[in-house]
Amino acid sequence: MRAAVIQFPGSNCDRDMAVALDKVSGNNKQTQMIWHKESGLPHGLDIIAIPGGFSFGDYLRCGAIAARSPIMNAVVDFAKKGGYVLGVCNGFQVLTESGLLPGTLMRNSDLKFICKNIKLRVETTSSHFTSAYTNGEIINVPIAHHDGNYNADQHTLDILNNDDRIAFRYINNPNGSMNDIAGILSENRRVLGMMPHPERLNDPLLGGIDGNRLFESMATTLVSA
């Protein structure tokens, strides 16, 4: 699997993401780091990850300015051609702001920044991001965000529910997200956005490995030619 991580000013989970991707990518396939001012992507990528952090200081709206940076035109093109894109935390916000995923992430309902381990239910294993989990499995993953309150109109929520596009739900909704949504898939199921941080829980030294299977899911199915 050939992976790349996009870096914006204020990204702070970019290296964690690269470590998690490297772990499953195979030999000599080191994750490439791509600065937001680049306008093109390297050839032959299997997946692009948009990491967590506070891109552009969360100015205007979380992810809004990053979503309009030069590299995102290339990322949107990549996704539209069927490329795989993973956005975690701020990366999820960038994906909704760029229109690759529907809805938006608003301020947490209690207005607090929440940083803790939470429980998620795997709602679908029918994606290249979640195939290594079992349906309905409950996993532990950390969250660390101020704006993770997923909002969308009823029509969008109906589509997400009916098309099995909700990847993860919170067991105890921490932030007010509609329908307890923690992560969603695009229509072609190749773009995943999620607020919790699987890359922060992929080694026993970090306190758990429940995040690892997300990366293993990708690696087993996204094998480079």
Partner 1 sequence: MKVRVHITLKPGVLDPQGAAVRRSLDSLGFGGIEKVRQGKVIELDLKETDVLKATAQVEKMCEKLLANTVIENYSVEIL
Q: Which is nearer to partner 1, 106 or 191 (CB)?
A: 106
- The amino acid present at 47, given as its one-letter code, is I
Nearest approach, Cβ of residue 30 and partner 1 (Å): 34
Q: Which is nearer to partner 1, 132 or 182 (CB)?
A: 182
Binding site for partner 1 (CB under 8 A): 60-61, 64-65, 68, 96-97, 102-104, 106-111, 149, 151-153, 176
Nearest approach, Cβ of residue 61 and partner 1 (Å): 6
Q: Which is nearer to partner 1, 67 or 86 (CB)?
A: 67
Q: Which is nearer to partner 1, 60 or 115 (CB)?
A: 60
Q: Comparing C-alpha atoms, which of 59, 68, 58, 66 is closest to residue 145?
A: 58
Nearest approach, Cβ of residue 10 and partner 1 (Å): 17
Looking at the annotation, which residues are catalytic? Answer: 89, 197, 199
**How far apart are the C-alpha atoms of 178 and 153, rounded to whole Å?**
10
**How far apart are the C-alpha atoms of 86 and 5, rounded to whole Å?**
9
Nearest approach, Cβ of residue 103 and partner 1 (Å): 7
